[in-house]
Structure 1
Amino acid sequence: MIYRTVPADKQPLAVSVWSFSTILGTALAPSVSGWLQGYDWHYIFLVTVPVGILALVIGSRILPANSVDKETKLDRLGLALAASGSLSLLLLFGNIYAWGWQSAAFWVCLTVGVGSAVWFVIHQLRAKTPLLQLRLFRNRTFTISLVVSLILSVALYSGVYFVPLYLSEIHGLSSFHIGLLFLPGAACLTCATFFSGRYYHKFGPAVLAIIGTSILIVTTFLFSRMQVSTSLLAIMIIIAIRNTGTGLALTPVTNAGMMAIPKEYSGHASALINWLRQIFSAMALGLFTSLFYARLAIHQEQLGKNDTVYPSAYTLSINDAFLFSAIIIMSALPLALLLRKPKMGGSIGKV
């Protein structure tokens, strides 16, 4: 909707406002949830009800009606394949360590997930009104930006997931205090996101993405060197710097891809980006979790299974997960170099 209603020269700033409101939720959630848990953990879920109703009312009154493709029918087969494939792969990556590759559940989920994914791609390329326009991948800039954004999502969610675990298990912090530790990072994320949108046209997506990705690599590597005695101040500073890198990189990368495609396909592109980002991030977290528990078992075996060495084994396992994350993020650097300021409404080939 942003790319259909906002002038081209204002789109980077508009996307930065939208992105920061989305990403900021991951930074503020620990504080809000921790505070609510102090009263009743049920409020964590109930609080979304009035917010959702308010958003529905405001959206129905303010957002412009979309008159494009009103006659388009829902691709029910595509939706079923996407749902079954996504669910199977999420279950697989979330339970790799618990199931093991020799279990029946592992192979069932793998077969259903991969089979549904392949069938989905074939069906979407043949359908007259596809659920997702996969021919968007013919656009080089869009494809590169999507791959980079998926890699950056790994960095974002790995930090949000593993740092609170470390703070809770090793330092004994409550959910509320962990959230407070994330607040400076939330402020840095907000400022960096606005900065990247404001100066997008001046620096271009490649420069901003390279700077942000470099910051993410360094800070993720620093997290892989944590010790049981690492101070809370050091962790808070690393989180703040890390969130700055996220804000500088993620929004320009997304914007570069969206601006490179024809305006009439912006809805398909946005849906494709958000769907793949959510699925990829969830699968990556499942994989990281499996890696963490596998490494925890190894470290406990090496250090000895007793309460005195458990904190060290736990910290080393989190370090291994962050090191793996840093290696993955490094692959985004050469791709970011290929990002250029795209011409508005680029071609995706014959559709």
Structure 2
Amino acid sequence: MSTDTDLDPRPATVDAPVADAPRRPVAEPPAPTPAPAPPASAGNPWIIPLLVLVAGMFMSVLDISIVNVAITTMQNDFGATTDEMQWVSTAYSLAEGVVVPASAWLGTRYGLGRVYTIAMVFFALFSTLCGLAWDINSIIAFRVLQAIPGGVIPVVALAALYKIVPKDKLGAAMGMYGLGIIFAPAIGPTLGGYLVEYVNWRLIFFINVPIGVIGVLAAIFYLPKFPATRGQKLDVPGFAAVAVGLFSLLLALHEGPTWGWTSYPTLILLTLGTLSLALFVVIELEVDQPLLDLRVFTHWAFTNSLLLIAIISVGLFGVLFYIPVFLQQYQGMGAFETGLLLLPQALVMAFVMPAAGFLYDKIGARVPATIGLAIVAYTTWDLASLTIDVSHGHLELLLAARAVGIGLAMMPIMTGGLGSLPSSLSSNGSAVNTLVQRASSAIGLAAMTAMMTIQQAQASADRSGMVDSSAMGGMSGTAAGASDGAMMQQYQMYSQLQSQVFTTAMNDLLYVTAILTAIGVPLALMLRHGKPAPSDAPMAH
């Protein structure tokens, strides 16, 4: 810690002929306060702060997937309908979509470190309330509250990462950071399944409390201080426009299958959402201090990365949602059994993502992203041939191979896109990136659910006549004593029909996902190739 030598090298040379010992202290008061984070040349001082950010990101994203395996158990406890229980996840997505656009402003206005720490505190607090919920209305309300800090944490964490990590080390850093983005939702079903089946579903929320406490303490002691811009005003019209737009679109996609796609409420919401987002663009281009600086879209490398991130997010969260449903409802597996079957893909991602990050630092994003997307497209197409009696070993292998592709592609794509932006736009880029991830996964899942509902209804209508005629044939000429057996046979045929209908609809959905991913391969070929250029020292103060 040679601060004296570093702060005052010139007086020793210039004033040597007349310098006295008492003159040296005069130079110290104007010296700037040294930054808490050591300079980039002193090894890797960003490692520990990065791990702090990864912990918060992991906690906030884990809650998205870990809740899915508990839905059935919570439904039984609360005596709620399936439609009501869907709001446990939908309400979180709606609230998160509203708060994410304002998160960049919060980080800029009050300082990234301070906002991150406060968000961690409230996320742990609201998680506790979720664990204490007593009925369906309370759990939905607490999930809305939980989504507010849950939407802030990813934005400020990603913006902070780009402040503390040199540009030539971003690949390695993002490889570790990706454990929160992709590994957390992949490991969620395993952890959640164990807690639901062997302990209590409430622990899926209570588990956030110790993680949150440790994360807050680590943030206080290890995160560097980030400057706050006091004069930054909130763009209220822009925030209102984007909040109404995202909320309307998500609600329309969620309720469309129930209300009907041509019903007035659905059409009104879709129109309102589209017009509100268009108004948001107009507002952001006119105001002096926009909520989100849309100049980020003038950088094609960043825009291209957003398109690819949306494609991956739709496929990732769609499979993470429907495969557990398939295994539990139609193959009779328990929650923990399902989690164990999905565990290998999570472990593969945990291994591949850091490796992909180091690969990005050596050769850029184009090669790993292209290979990764090609693997995802091929394995998803292969996955689309599922049958109701598919081998679990075969399913594990396909999911693990698919995880290799996602782990290879996701972090290089995201790192390359954000790394293409100038430092002045990094916070806005982080907010837009997180918004695209969340919106694409939520809207994509809602759209996939709508497609599933339509296809299942059509397939059921096409095949129900077969069941009815077969059942009636079995019923005709039977004695009254044999009616129970005929009814049981009809029920079994109906259950088999529903299994076949669901499997067929899910396979069609996987085919669409595979084609969408394949479309991303040419876009990946447009990503930058070659070792990223080194940057200046980190900007955290």
Unaligned runs of 5+ in 1: 346-351
Name the residue aligned to 2:510.
322
User: Which of 89, 99, 105 pairs up with 2:249?
Assistant: 89
Structure 2 matches for 1:297-308, cutoff 5 A? 297-304=457-464, 306-308=494-496
Residues of 1 paired with 2:266 and 2:533: CA distance? 45
Moved segments of 4+, more than 4 Å: 342-345
Structure 2 matches for 1:178-327, cutoff 5 A? 178-304=338-464, 306-327=494-515
Residues of 2 paired with 1:201 and 1:17: CA distance? 13
Measure how far apart 1:343 and its partner are: 5.7
**Greater Cα shift, 209-218 or 195-204:** 195-204
Measure how far apart 1:285 and its partner are: 0.2
Measure how far apart 1:118 and its partner are: 1.0
Matched, 1:135 2:323: no
User: Which of 519, 536, 539 pairs up with 1:331?
Assistant: 519
Q: Deviations over 1:95-128 (max 9, x none)?
A: 2222222212102211221121111111111121
Q: Deviations over 1:66-119 (max 9, x none)?
A: 115342122222222222211111111122222222212102211221121111
Residues of 2 paired with 1:9 and 1:24: CA distance? 24
Matched, 1:2 2:169: no
Measure how far apart 1:33 and its partner are: 1.1
Residues of 2 paired with 1:43 and 1:109: CA distance? 36
Residues 70 and 12 (structure 1), Cα distance of their counterparts in 2 relative to 1, 3 Å cut: farther
Residues of 1 paired with 2:194 and 2:167: CA distance? 41
Q: What letter corresponds to residue 234 of structure 1 in structure 2?
A: H
Residues of 2 paired with 1:106 and 1:255: CA distance? 37
Q: What letter corresponds to residue 289 of structure 1 in structure 2?
A: T
Matched, 1:112 2:112: no
Q: Deviations over 1:33-86 (max 9, x none)?
A: 111212222222232233233323322332122115342122222222222211
Q: Give secondary structure in 2 for the equivalent of 1:331.
A: helix
**TM-score, structure 2 as length reference:** 0.62
Matched, 1:162 2:162: no
**TM-score, structure 1 as length reference:** 0.94
Residues of 2 paired with 1:344 and 1:121: CA distance? 34
Name the residue aligned to 2:176.
17
Query: Does the 8 A contact of 1:149 with 1:254 survive in 2?
Result: yes
Structure 2 matches for 1:48-127, cutoff 5 A? 48-67=208-227, 69-127=229-287
Query: Does the 8 A contact of 2:166 with 2:534 survive in 1?
Result: no
**Greater Cα shift, 23-32 or 66-75:** 66-75
Residues of 2 paired with 1:328 and 1:96: CA distance? 22
Q: What letter corresponds to residue 151 of structure 1 in structure 2?
A: I
Query: Does the 8 A contact of 1:260 with 1:343 survive in 2?
Result: no
Residues 70 and 244 (structure 1), Cα distance of their counterparts in 2 relative to 1, 3 Å cut: farther
Residues of 2 paired with 1:343 and 1:146: CA distance? 21
User: Which of 528, 532, 539 pairs up with 1:340?
Assistant: 528
Residues of 1 paired with 2:504 and 2:534: CA distance? 47
Name the residue aligned to 1:40.
200
- Give the number of the structure whose alpha-carbon radius of gyration is greater: 2
Residues of 1 paired with 2:419 and 2:412: CA distance? 10
Residues of 2 paired with 1:9 and 1:162: CA distance? 38
Q: Percent of aligned positions with the same letter in both sequences?
A: 31
Residues of 1 paired with 2:211 and 2:291: CA distance? 29
Residues of 1 paired with 2:275 and 2:368: CA distance? 38
Residues of 2 paired with 1:223 and 1:98: CA distance? 29
Query: Does the 8 A contact of 1:96 with 1:287 survive in 2?
Result: no
Residues of 2 paired with 1:210 and 1:267: CA distance? 27
Residues of 2 paired with 1:163 and 1:31: CA distance? 13
Q: Deviations over 1:133-190 (max 9, x none)?
A: 1111001111111111111111211110111111112211111111111111111101
Unaligned runs of 5+ in 2: 1-159, 468-493, 536-541
Name the residue aligned to 1:349.
none
Structure 2 matches for 1:168-179, cutoff 5 A? 168-179=328-339
Residues of 2 paired with 1:227 and 1:138: CA distance? 46
Residues of 1 paired with 2:503 and 2:458: CA distance? 13
Residues of 2 paired with 1:294 and 1:278: CA distance? 24
Residues of 2 paired with 1:170 and 1:219: CA distance? 22
Q: RCO higher in 1 or 2 (8 Å CA, sep ≥ 6)?
A: 1
Measure how far apart 1:269 and its partner are: 0.4
User: Which of 28, 39, 50 pairs up with 2:187?
Assistant: 28
Residues of 1 paired with 2:273 and 2:388: CA distance? 39
Query: Does the 8 A contact of 2:170 with 2:361 survive in 1?
Result: no
Q: What letter corresponds to residue 322 of structure 1 in structure 2?
A: L
Query: Does the 8 A contact of 1:259 with 1:344 survive in 2?
Result: no
Measure how far apart 1:4 and its partner are: 1.9
Query: Does the 8 A contact of 2:167 with 2:533 survive in 1?
Result: no
Q: What letter corresponds to residue 61 of structure 1 in structure 2?
A: F
**Greater Cα shift, 22-31 or 281-290:** 22-31
